[in-house]
Amino acid sequence: MLGKKILVALVGFCFLTAASSAMAYGSGAGDDSLGIGLSIIASSQKDVNSWIDSTAMAGTKDISGGYEVTADYEHRFSSTMYSLLIRPSYFAQSASGAGVEANLTGFTVFPMFRLYPLESSFIHFFMQVGLGYGNLTTELSNNGASGTYKGDAFGAIGGLGALFCFTPNHCLSIEGNFRYLPIERSTGNASASLGGQITQVNGELELNNFDLATTMSGIQGIIGYKLMF
């Protein structure tokens, strides 16, 4: 309940500011920009970690946080607080130990709507929301047996951030987002039994006779560079 109240308050503040403030300066460099960024995302791979733990091999390691490389193109509507942005990203997580390995790699594409409610010539605060798509490849191996599985899903993202523009053309971007992108099932094949709690390796990957779920959901922090033109 507290989280929902905070989100409602932030959205309300944003639109109130947009309605009452004339502080939409823009960057002064143009309506378009290109960006690149590095991200850490707290995607919890519970099912994969359950399998790793169930192999009962001393020295195995669970998957923790993931990493992403992002790029984006943004178009801001002239003399307004609004822009549209499209952002592809490359996602990676891994863990290995005692001959047991799990590697997850994938990509996402998220179109987003961005609102700049408060700005100066140096700092530009923004809020953003979007809907997008993700595709994830899961590679598992256990002392000689290996399997590759793919899954995909549609999801949503929302967050806050700021641009710090040291010149009209060059800006530092900092963001905090929450992305919802669970992948309920993945399909593929394995060379042999992967052991532990995995009960099906060909076709749908199953853990304890249920689909093994993966995810690219989580809280995401991004630091990046924006070129305005």
Residue type, 50: S
d(CA 24, CA 18): 9
CA angle 182/47/147 to nearest 5° reads 95
Per-residue pLDDT of 47-92, as tens digits, reads: 999 999 999 888 899 999 999 999 999 999 999 999 999 999 999 9
Domain residue spans of the chain: 2-228
Interatomic CA distance for residues 141 and 103, integer angstroms: 9
Give this prediction's pTM.
0.85
Is residue 11 scored above 90 in pLDDT? no
Structure tokens at 124: 């530009």
pLDDT tens for 195-228 read 999 999 999 999 999 999 999 999 999 999 999 9
Q: What CATH fold (topology level) applies to the domain 2-228?
A: Porin (2.40.160)
State the greatest distance between any 2 C-alpha atoms of the chain, in Å, as a whole number. Answer: 65
